[in-house]
A and B are shown apart, each in its own frame.
Chain A
Amino acid sequence: MAKIVGMLTTSHVPAIGGAIAKNLQQDAYWKPFFDGFLPVRKWLDEVKPDVAVVLYNDHGLNFFLDKMPTFSVGAAREYHNADEGWGIPTLAPTRGDIDLSWHLINNLVERDFDITTCQEMLVDHAFTIPLKLFWPQSPCPIPAVPVCINTVQFPLPSAKRCYALGEAVGDAIRNWDTDKKVVVIGTGGLSHQLDGERAGFINKDFDLKFMDSMIDDPKWATQFSIHELVEKTGTQGVELIMWLAARAAVKGKVRKVHSNYHIPISNTASGLMALEALE
């Protein structure tokens, strides 16, 4: 059966794509952010996952308001990035893993998650940039399966529901009949708000407490409603539900490989965690 080697979570701000394109990794503004990835890449070189499952949220590239699925799973042989309208470079396509996609789809529906399946799916910066940060090579050296959670249009699925989705994703991976090693990635957050008079809101205390909880109290943030999470972390900070889902997939005890927290990247409190599965 497949094995989950661990979990990676990171923020996914579009401006990071611009900084990579301009080689600004050692620039004073960007260095504290990019340096955080070095120990994580070292760990990835050691554990060598064969495939990634990426929990992320689309920002109006693949989905518009005409059809807005709460949870969707990619089932394509290849995932293309495209022009997102805000001037960041389009990254190379990422290979999919059709076998894992349909295994996830079948298992999730069996567990009562009424997901949308996507045999064509454009992936935006929330999928491409984290892969680029973890594997700077182009194209990404391992295949990946996208799982998208709606954070565009309320009502959003609750933190508790996203955690349950993550548990079901994890169980499905663990009963996938293969000897492959899988890494689960959650992208988004941490606290930030782009819109309204409260734009620029950041909540460092909450973010640090949340990052701590990921290690040995992973359900901690599921006590909050989406409304409470927006109040505490900002309208886009609520993307932390991807982190919850990714952590839930790992299940049980973890070892912290590395974490980094830096304010600000663009308007965002950026967070990074790599947790190794111990069970």
Chain B
Amino acid sequence: MRNAIKMISVLTIVGLISGAALVLVYSYANPLIEKNKKNEMKKAIFRIFPDGKSYTGETVDEVDVFRVKNAEDTFIGYAFLAEGNGYQGVIEMMAGISPDMETVVGLEILDSQETPGLGGEIATDKFTSQFKALKAAPEIAYVKNVKPARPNEIQAITGATISSRAVVTILNETIKKIKGKLK
């Protein structure tokens, strides 16, 4: 009996001390983690909108959308978070679109697990710069192995068609989702 009491009390004490330690660590770390996440989004938004000075956030149909304003407080476009399935996992991205929702302003890949060197190239400037001033009407399209001929086309990465196509599909779907709701 004494043995059982000793076992239970040791476990309980260790459990309680560990629990207390974790609560402390959590209260220290959580605000920092939230700040990190906000910073990451802020950096992405301002990389897409170099003239942007401030933004306000809202959620439309489960999509996080940000209205970006420049230094003169003029509304210069929307930034939104989009995500979907790529080749190896979920791709998370931040995209910018003009106020009339016709032209894509830019693209930043936030998180992807695509194959490094192949699908992973979607995160490089070489790929994402194609999305600056890209027409989104009727929708974004991609071509393979040729230079894009129309203003709404981008060129897929050689050897990474699936990843490139995933980015295009995710963008189109998200734009469609928010288009009606924001005007």
* Chains A and B bind each other: no
B residues apposed to A, CB below 8 Å: none
